[in-house]
Amino acid sequence: MAGFNESAVVQVIAVPAVCTLITFLGYFPQILFRNETLQPGPPSTSETYIFNTLLALLWYTYYKAVTTDPGRYVFDEKIIEVEGRWCNKCDAPKPPRAHHCRHCKRCVPKMDHHCPWTKNCVSMTTFPHFYRFLCYANFALWYLCYLVFQRFYALWEERHMPAYLGPSIPVLASLAISGLVCFFTSLLLGIMLVTTTKNWVFNQTTIEGWEADRHEAIAERGGKDWWDVTGPDGKKFRFEKVEFPYDIGFFENMSQAMGTSFFPMWLFPFAGNPKIGTSKSGKRTGWEWEENGFNRTEGMWPPPDPEKIRRAARTWPAGRRDFDAELRALDDDDEQFKEAFRKRQAADIERRKNMMVAELEEDDEYGMPSDVDENGDWVNEDGEKLVDFGVDVDDGMPGDDRVEGITTAHDEDVPLAELIRRRKAAARP
């Protein structure tokens, strides 16, 4: 389903399709129920008010879920490089829990997934509106199911009456279609409401749930709480089992997601949403996240993927580009430049040989993964990959950017002129 949601056609027609579905289920049955042959007759005044109020709240919360900005990070000045996570597409630091959305074209704070049905990211700023939309959509559908059931029950009660005294074939067909569309829509949105509520209570986004499943699969494959993996630079780093750090208690989790601990406002349709803080205001909301302290240190999520790290080692050159060495080489003469190149080439060949030996040893001990596709990307039990949630995986490998020696295509594509620009910018007072 995630792959289908990512298709270009769905991205274009999704929002009009949702509006059409709301219009059909919201107004066509009300016209149908007024048919004089359909018992128990038109809905009462109170039933009409209740259903149309839920419908109005559904429209409003959907509008907010579609139009609310998913958030963006604004930096006071141009940052050339930084310790920690880095987004190659934004060319800027990537705070914890943020991911680069390939549809929104920026790093989104606490990105859950990109929802084509709202044409927007479900994120730190949009989650409250998205969740309220799901709630009021389900409330309206459940009430419509109740009204439709009344008509079907009346038909069952009058099943022994002559057919010509009851509703016509077009009316019966319209009632059946309305009932089926209502039932299946309610079923799908009900499942979505349950999964979203679970994520809300445990303070875990859909992407983080995927990362947790991947991490659990890797840990089970190794059969240990930790083991050593050889990085692309030929050095060993320790892979260890990591607990999800952002579950800080169900009430705090829910309050954090909704932006307030005053729980009557959580489902209030006109309530607001959390805002991205700024360093100038002193509030760092969306930049830093409280952790539960179950890991040996903070900042260990997302955990690295050893298979991706090993795959990065097979690329050429084996290690990360040494930008400092390349800048220094600009001042060397031809002979010095050639000699430095030969040394780097010999070091890369030796590193590659060591990596091949280490990889064979790790294969003997831990076995080859069976849950990756032909491109080496991990696939969960539902057949979903990280890209299916709208994440631009080319912005850097989640968790792996903490391991020395990881090389990305973006690193390899940095031109010499850009290196010179960075040197001048770094030297600027």
Distance from the Cα of residue 405 to its chain's centroid: 27
Q: How many helices and strands, by DSSP H and E, does the chain display?
A: 12, 8
Specify whether the CB–CB gap between 322 and 353 falls below 8 A. no
Q: Which tokens sit at 53?
A: 């109020």
The letter for the amino acid at 19 is: C
| From 90, 115, 121, 135, the catalytic residue | 115
Interatomic CA distance for residues 135 and 133, integer angstroms: 5
Q: Apex CA 152: angle with CA 170 and CA 24, to 5°?
A: 55
Handedness of CA 360, 365, 368, 372 (dihedral sign): negative
Asked if 115 is an active-site residue, the reply is yes
Quote the CA–CA distance of 213 and 45 in Å, as a whole number: 50
| Interior angle at CA 249, CA 247 and CA 254, nearest 5 | 85
Dihedral pair phi/psi, residue 245, rounded to 5°: -90, -10
C-alpha distance from residue 199 to each of 69, 140, 247, 267 (Å):
21, 23, 10, 16
CB within 8 Å of 273: residues ≥ 6 apart: 68, 125, 126, 127, 128, 129, 258, 259
Tokens encoding 167: 């509703």
Rg of the chain taking only CA atoms, in angstroms: 28
Q: Are strands 113-115 and 120-122 parallel, antiparallel or unpaired?
A: antiparallel
Residues with catalytic function = 115
